[in-house]
C-alpha cells in the first residue's frame, strides 16, 4: 500500500546575500510565500497599508532558499517520491545535497524520484528559488520583448500575472512553496493519474450516468494488476495486464440524480473511487466526488450573429455571473474557510457563475469542491492575460504540461462548465497596437487556436472550449463584436458614462464594471492619511487604475450633487458604482433571450484598494453587493427607455410562471403621488414581458416612477439625475431596538429618501447589515438589521446608527 506524508513543518527561508535586508533562516510557512514569512518575522511592514508595498519591491528581484529536515524510516519501497502541488516558480529541489528536480511553472504539480537521494534517518530538503524577475527578464532578453498591458515581464514566466501588479492589485512578486508538499512511498505500482469523464446518456427512454475512468499507472515491475472502479453504488473491475501502463474502465449509474446550478435544482454528488490492486492487496487508491450533468455551449450562427448560450442538462441558462480573482495577494493566507465565506456571499447575492480570470491561478481543490456543493458554475480561463506570450521553448512545453495537469486535476468537478483560452489577448492583438512591434514574433495564437482546444478535447472531452474572452467565434471577425459571442465592455468607465451600457446590444457580456473605494473600515486599514481626502497620497497609491480618481469624479459630476467632504465622496462613489452595474445588468437581462448572460467585473479584491469589486479586500460588502442581489434576483421588474419614453420589463428567471398584480406610482420629488397603475401580469417560466408606458402612467419631466413593496426588488425610474432633481432635504424618524446578536434600526420616511444606506462598519469594523440602497417615499418604513455585539452593548454606538455618517441618503 502507498503511504503519503505531508512535509509542512520546520521550514526556514534565507535570502541571498545581495538583498537589501539580511534574512537568515527565519521560520517559513508551508504552504505559503516569502512576503508573509518576512511579515511574520517582523522584518517588514504590512504591505497593505499606505505605500508599504513599495518597500517590498526588492523581494522579487532576489533569490530565496527554503530548507527543512525530516526523518525517514526506510523500507522495501519501489518508489519514493517528493510531490509538490505548487512551487512558485523557478526552483531547484535538492535532497541531502543531490538535485532531484527543477521547476519553472507555478501552475502545475511536480513529482520527483527521491530513491537515490533519500537516506534512512535524518534528511535535509532544500528548495532554492531563483528571483522571478531574474528569470523573466532573461527570457525576455533571449526571445525579444512583447507587448504587455503593464510594464512588467509577467508574460515571460509561468507565474500568476497579477503577482506583478494590476489595476486593482499590488506588485508582490515573491516566491514560495505555495501549495502542499508530500513524501509518497509505494510498492509494485501506483495510480499516476485518474481522470473521470462524467456524462449523461439517454437511450430508448432510459437515462444513465456514465463515468469513463482514464487511468495512468506508474509501475516498478510487470505484475498483473486490477482496477476496481466505483461510481455511486456501481462497480466495474478491470484487469491490467503486465507491462500495461494505462487502462480505461466504464461505470454506469442508472437513473442518476443530476447536478444543477443552485437556482435551477439540487446539487446531487456521488462518490467515485479507484482502487489499484495486486494479488488481492490494495496498492493505491483515488477518490473524489462527482456530479452527473451535461454542459453545452451553443455558438451556432443565427439570423442576428452568433450566440453564446450556456446550457446545463439541455436547458438554456441566463448566466448571472461575476469575475473571480485570487482572494488574497499573499496566497498563503487563503484558507478553505475564507473561500467558503466568499462563495456563500456569492450565492447569497443570486450569483450562479464565477469566471476564474486568466491573470490569476487555477484555484484550489477547496474552491471547486465548494462550488460543486453550493451549485456555482465555474468558467475557467487558461492563464494568459492582457499580454503577448511567447510560444518558443520552454514556454510551449510548459503551457502544454500545465494545461494537461489542470484539465486532469479539475475533471471531476461538475461545477466546472467551460474552458477559455485567454483573457483579452486576441482583442489586444487586434486593438492595442501590438501588431507593429510584434512583427513576426509569436504572441500566443498557437496556444488559443491550436494547442489548448486539442488538449481540452483529448484530456477532458466533456466541456466546451472558447478561444478567448472576448471572442466572436471566428478569426475573421473582430473579437469584441457585440453581435457575436462574448464581449467585454470597457468604453463605459474608461471613456463613457454608465448610461451608455444601454447603447450596447451584446449576446453575452463576460466583463463590465465600475469602480468605487472600499468600505470605511477598510479605507482606515489601507491608509493612515489625516485628514482623509480622495486625493491624499496613500488614497492615490491604492488607486491603481489609470486616471481612476478622475473617472470616479466624472461619474459623480454626471449624476450626483457636489460632494462636501470625504464622507460624501465615499458614499456617493459607492452608490454610483452600485447604480452603474445594476443599470447594466438590468439592461442586459431585458434583452434576453438575445443576450444570454452578464459577468460583472469583479466579485472580490485581493487587498484593500479602490476597485471594481463588490466585496472588498477585508471581506466587507460594498453597496454594489446589495445591488447585485437585487439585479440578479430570479424575478425583477425594470424600467427601460423606449424611444423618448419608458417601458416596464418583467423578467422571470424561475421555473414557475409569474402571475401577479404589479403596481407602480408616479411621484413628484416631494413624494406626492401623481398617478398609480396596477397591472395584471403573466410571465411564462424563464421568459420576459414588457409594457410601454403611455398616457397618464408615463412620467413627466421632474417626476419619478417607483414600484410598490412587492415580492421582487423595487424598480425605479428618474426623469432627471439626482443633481438636477428638486429633492427636499431628507427627513425621517429612526428607532432602534436590540435583537439577538445586534440592533434593529427602523427608519420611517417623512420625505423621499434616495438610496438609503446604513454603514455600521464605521462604528464596529466587524459589523454587518442586511440591506442597502433603499428608495422610500413618504410614509414608508425600512428595517435594517445590524449584526454586531459591540454596537448592541453600547448605548452611544447604538444611537450613532441613526445619523450621519452611518445612516445616509443622497438627499440628506
pLDDT digits (tens, 9 = 90+) for 192-241: 999 999 999 998 889 999 999 999 999 998 889 999 999 999 999 999 99
pLDDT digits (tens, 9 = 90+) for 425-436: 999 999 999 999
CB 617 within 8 A of CB 172: no
Q: What is the domain partition of the chain in residue ranges? A: 3-182, 188-290, 295-631, 635-718, 732-808
pLDDT band at 639 (very low <50, low <70, confident <90, very high): very high
> Is it the case that residue 799 has pLDDT exceeding 90?
yes
Cα distance between residue 329 and residue 754, in whole Å: 36
Identify the three-state secondary structure at position 569: helix
In this structure, are strands 768-769 and 781-787 parallel, antiparallel, or unpaired? antiparallel
Cell of 35: 512576503
Cα distance between residue 275 and residue 285, in whole Å: 5
pLDDT digits (tens, 9 = 90+) for 32-51: 999 999 999 999 999 999 99
Region 658-663: mean pLDDT is 91
Cα distance between residue 613 and residue 15, in whole Å: 35
Cα distance between residue 217 and residue 227, in whole Å: 11
Cell of 104: 519553472
Cell of 417: 462548465
Give the list of residues 6+ apart from residue 535 with CB closer than 8 angstroms, or none: 549
> Is it the case that residue 1 has pLDDT exceeding 80?
no
Cα distance between residue 312 and residue 324, in whole Å: 21
What does the mean pLDDT of the chain come to?
Answer: 97
Please name the residue ranges forming H helices in 601-738. Answer: 623-631
> Is it the case that residue 66 has pLDDT exceeding 80?
yes
pLDDT digits (tens, 9 = 90+) for 485-499: 999 999 999 999 999
Domain boundaries 3-182, corresponding CATH code:
2.60.120.260
In this prediction, residue 711 carries a pLDDT of 86
In this prediction, residue 74 carries a pLDDT of 86
User: Residue 542 to residues 16, 36, 490, 515: CA-CA distances in angstroms?
Assistant: 30, 20, 21, 12
User: Residue 268 to residues 148, 258, 271: CA-CA distances in angstroms?
Assistant: 43, 6, 10
Q: In this prediction, what percent of the chain has a pLDDT beyond 70? A: 100
In this prediction, residue 221 carries a pLDDT of 86
Region 67-93: mean pLDDT is 96
Q: Report which of 582, 593, 587, 585 is spatially closest to residue 311, judged by C-alpha positions.
A: 593
In this prediction, residue 203 carries a pLDDT of 85
624 φψ region: left (φ > 0), alpha (ψ -120 to 50), beta (else): alpha
pLDDT digits (tens, 9 = 90+) for 679-730: 898 999 999 999 999 988 899 999 999 999 888 999 999 999 999 999 999 9
Domain boundaries 635-718, corresponding CATH code:
2.60.40.10
Backbone angles phi, psi at 429, to 5 degrees: -60, -35
Fold exhibited by the domain 295-631: TIM Barrel (3.20.20)
Give the count of beta carbons closer than 10 Å to the beta carbon of residue 743: 23
The vertex-584 CA angle with 579 and 586, nearest 5°, equals 95
CB 446 within 8 A of CB 475: no
DSSP 448: I
Cα distance between residue 378 and residue 396, in whole Å: 26
Give the list of residues 6+ apart from residue 786 with CB closer than 8 angstroms, or none: 742, 743, 744, 745, 758, 760, 767, 768, 769, 801
- For 397, how many CA atoms within 13 A lie in the half-sphere containing its CB? 4
DSSP 28: -
Backbone angles phi, psi at 454, to 5 degrees: -65, -45
Cell of 67: 530548507
pLDDT digits (tens, 9 = 90+) for 554-607: 999 999 999 999 999 999 999 999 999 999 999 999 999 999 999 999 999 999
In this prediction, residue 473 carries a pLDDT of 97
CB 729 within 8 A of CB 751: yes
User: Residue 470 to residues 22, 50, 177, 730: CA-CA distances in angstroms?
Assistant: 46, 35, 33, 44
Kindly state the greatest CA–CA separation across the chain.
Answer: 90
pLDDT digits (tens, 9 = 90+) for 504-555: 999 999 999 999 999 999 999 999 999 999 999 999 999 999 999 999 999 9
Region 644-666: mean pLDDT is 94
The vertex-241 CA angle with 237 and 242, nearest 5°, equals 140
The reply to whether domains 3-182 and 635-718 share a CATH topology is no
In this prediction, residue 696 carries a pLDDT of 87
CA torsion 82-86-92-93 (nearest 10°) is -20
In this prediction, residue 75 carries a pLDDT of 87
Identify the three-state secondary structure at position 353: strand
In this prediction, residue 313 carries a pLDDT of 97
CB 439 within 8 A of CB 429: no
Element housing 684 (H / E): none
Cα distance between residue 642 and residue 691, in whole Å: 10
Peptide bond into 641 cis (omega under 30): no
- Exposed e or buried b per residue across 61-91, where buried means at least 16 C-beta atoms within 10 angstroms of its C-beta: bbbbbbbbeeebeeeebbbbbbbbbbbbbbb
In this prediction, residue 222 carries a pLDDT of 87
Domain boundaries 188-290, corresponding CATH code:
2.60.40.10
Order of all β-strands in the sheet with 753-758: 774-776, 753-758, 807-808
Structural class in CATH, domain 732-808: mainly beta
pLDDT digits (tens, 9 = 90+) for 397-448: 999 999 999 999 999 999 999 999 999 999 999 999 999 999 999 999 999 9
Cα distance between residue 787 and residue 477, in whole Å: 52
CB 152 within 8 A of CB 61: no
Q: Is 366 exposed, middle or buried (0-12, 13-18, 19+ CB in 10 A)?
A: middle
Q: Report which of 271, 81, 273 is spatially closest to residue 194, judged by C-alpha positions.
A: 273
Cα distance between residue 699 and residue 666, in whole Å: 6
In this prediction, residue 300 carries a pLDDT of 97
Cα distance between residue 730 and residue 676, in whole Å: 24
Give the list of residues 6+ apart from residue 255 with CB closer than 8 angstroms, or none: 206, 207, 208
User: Residue 704 to residues 368, 670, 748: CA-CA distances in angstroms?
Assistant: 44, 10, 20
CB 513 within 8 A of CB 581: yes
Cα distance between residue 744 and residue 758, in whole Å: 11
In this prediction, residue 660 carries a pLDDT of 87
Cα distance between residue 125 and residue 92, in whole Å: 11
Q: In this prediction, what percent of the chain has a pLDDT beyond 90? A: 97
Strands (E), 462-596: 465-466, 486-489, 508-512
The vertex-468 CA angle with 462 and 474, nearest 5°, equals 95
> Is it the case that residue 348 has pLDDT exceeding 80?
yes
Amino acid at each position: 500500500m502507498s503511504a503519503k506524508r505531508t512535509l509542512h513543518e520546520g521550514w526556514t527561508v534565507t535570502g541571498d546575500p545581495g538583498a537589501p535586508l539580511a534574512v537568515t533562516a527565519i521560520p517559513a510557512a508551508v504552504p505559503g510565500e516569502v512576503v508573509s514569512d518576512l511579515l511574520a518575522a517582523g522584518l517588514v511592514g504590512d504591505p497593505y497599508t499606505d505605500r508599504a508595498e513599495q518597500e517590498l519591491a526588492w523581494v522579487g528581484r532576489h533569490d530565496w532558499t527554503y530548507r527543512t529536515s525530516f526523518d525517514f524510516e526506510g523500507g522495501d519501497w519501489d518508489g519514493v517520491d517528493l510531490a509538490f502541488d505548487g512551487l512558485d516558480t523557478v526552483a531547484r529541489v535538492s535532497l541531502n545535497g543531490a538535485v532531484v528536480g527543477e521547476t519553472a511553472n507555478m501552475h502545475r504539480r511536480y513529482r520527483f524520484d527521491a530513491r537515490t537521494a533519500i537516506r534512512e534517518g535524518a534528511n535535509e530538503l532544500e528548495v532554492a528559488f531563483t528571483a522571478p524577475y531574474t528569470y523573466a527578464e532573461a527570457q525576455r532578453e533571449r526571445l525579444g520583448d512583447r507587448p504587455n498591458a503593464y510594464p512588467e515581464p509577467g508574460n515571460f514566466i509561468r507565474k500568476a500575472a497579477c503577482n506583478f501588479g494590476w489595476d486593482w492589485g499590488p506588485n508582490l512578486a515573491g516566491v514560495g512553496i505555495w501549495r502542499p508538499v508530500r513524501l509518497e512511498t509505494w510498492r509494485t505500482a501506483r495510480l499516476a493519474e485518474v481522470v473521470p469523464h462524467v456524462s449523461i446518456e439517454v437511450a430508448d427512454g432510459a437515462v444513465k450516468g456514465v463515468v469513463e475512468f482514464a487511468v495512468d499507472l506508474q509501475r516498478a515491475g510487470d505484475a498483473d494488476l486490477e482496477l476496481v472502479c466505483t461510481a455511486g453504488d456501481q462497480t466495474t473491475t478491470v484487469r491490467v495486464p503486465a507491462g500495461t501502463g494505462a487502462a480505461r474502465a466504464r461505470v454506469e449509474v442508472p437513473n442518476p440524480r443530476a447536478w444543477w446550478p443552485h437556482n435551477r435544482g439540487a446539487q446531487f454528488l456521488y462518490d467515485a473511487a479507484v482502487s489499484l490492486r495486486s494479488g488481492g492487496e490494495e496498492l493505491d487508491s483515488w477518490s473524489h466526488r462527482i456530479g452527473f450533468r451535461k454542459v453545452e455551449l451553443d455558438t451556432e450562427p443565427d439570423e442576428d450573429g452568433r450566440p453564446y448560450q450556456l446550457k446545463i442538462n439541455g436547458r438554456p441558462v441566463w448566466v448571472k455571473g461575476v469575475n473571480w480573482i485570487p482572494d488574497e495577494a499573499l496566497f498563503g493566507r487563503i484558507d478553505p474557510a475564507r473561500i467558503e465565506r466568499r462563495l456563500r456571499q456569492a450565492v447569497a447575492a443570486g450569483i450562479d457563475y464565477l469566471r476564474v480570470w486568466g491573470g490569476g491561478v487555477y484555484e484550489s481543490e477547496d474552491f471547486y469542491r465548494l462550488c460543486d456543493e453550493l451549485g456555482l458554475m465555474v468558467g475557467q480561463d487558461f492563464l494568459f492575460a492582457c499580454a503577448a506570450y511567447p510560444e518558443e521553448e520552454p514556454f510551449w512545453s510548459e503551457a502544454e504540461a500545465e494545461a494537461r495537469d489542470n484539465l486532469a486535476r479539475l475533471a471531476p468537478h461538475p461545477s466546472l462548465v467551460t474552458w477559455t483560452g485567454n483573457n483579452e489577448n486576441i482583442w489586444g492583438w487586434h486593438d492595442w497596437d501590438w501588431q507593429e512591434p510584434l512583427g513576426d514574433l509569436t504572441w500566443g495564437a498557437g496556444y488559443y487556436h491550436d494547442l489548448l482546444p486539442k488538449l481540452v478535447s483529448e484530456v477532458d472531452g466533456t466541456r466546451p472550449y472558447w478561444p478567448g474572452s472576448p471572442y466572436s467565434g471566428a478569426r475573421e471577425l473582430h473579437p469584441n463584436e457585440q453581435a457575436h459571442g462574448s464581449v467585454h465592455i470597457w468604453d463605459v468607465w474608461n471613456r463613457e458614462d454608465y448610461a451608455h451600457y444601454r447603447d450596447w446590444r451584446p449576446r453575452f457580456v463576460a466583463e463590465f464594471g465600475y469602480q468605487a473605494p472600499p468600505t470605511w473600515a477598510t479605507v482606515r486599514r489601507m491608509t493612515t492619511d489625516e485628514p482623509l481626502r480622495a486625493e491624499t497620497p496613500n488614497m492615490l497609491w491604492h488607486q491603481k487604475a489609470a486616471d481612476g480618481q478622475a473617472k470616479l469624479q466624472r461619474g459623480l459630476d454626471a449624476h450626483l450633487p457636489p460632494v462636501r467632504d470625504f464622507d460624501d465622496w465615499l458614499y456617493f462613489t459607492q452608490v454610483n458604482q452600485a447604480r452603474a452595474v445594476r443599470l447594466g445588468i438590468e439592461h442586459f437581462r431585458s434583452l434576453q433571450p438575445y443576450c444570454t448572460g452578464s459577468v460583472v467585473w469583479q466579485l472580490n479584491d485581493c487587498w484593500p484598494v479602490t476597485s471594481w469589486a463588490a466585496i472588498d479586500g477585508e471581506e466587507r460588502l460594498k453597496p454594489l453587493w446589495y445591488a447585485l442581489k437585487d439585479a440578479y434576483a430570479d424575478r425583477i421588474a425594470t424600467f427601460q427607455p423606449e424611444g423618448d419614453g419608458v417601458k416596464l420589463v418583467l423578467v422571470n428567471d424561475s421555473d414557475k410562471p409569474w402571475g401577479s398584480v404589479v403596481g407602480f406610482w408616479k411621484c413628484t420629488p416631494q413624494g406626492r403621488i401623481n398617478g398609480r397603475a396596477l397591472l395584471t401580469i403573466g410571465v411564462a417560466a424563464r421568459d420576459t414581458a414588457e409594457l410601454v408606458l403611455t398616457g397618464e402612467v408615463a412620467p413627466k419631466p421632474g417626476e419619478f416612477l417607483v414600484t410598490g413593496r412587492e415580492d421582487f426588488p423595487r424598480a425605479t425610474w428618474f426623469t432627471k439625475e439626482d443633481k438636477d432633481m428638486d429633492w427636499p432635504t431628507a427627513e425621517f424618524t429612526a428607532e432602534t431596538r436590540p435583537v439577538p446578536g445586534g440592533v434593529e434600526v427602523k427608519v420611517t420616511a417623512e420625505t423621499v429618501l434616495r438610496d438609503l444606506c446604513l454603514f455600521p462598519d464605521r462604528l464596529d469594523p466587524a459589523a454587518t447589515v442586511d440591506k442597502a440602497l433603499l428608495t422610500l417615499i413618504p410614509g414608508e418604513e425600512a428595517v435594517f438589521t445590524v449584526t454586531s455585539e459591540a454596537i448592541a452593548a453600547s448605548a452611544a454606538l447604538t444611537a450613532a446608527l441613526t445619523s450621519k455618517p452611518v445612516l445616509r441618503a443622497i438627499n440628506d
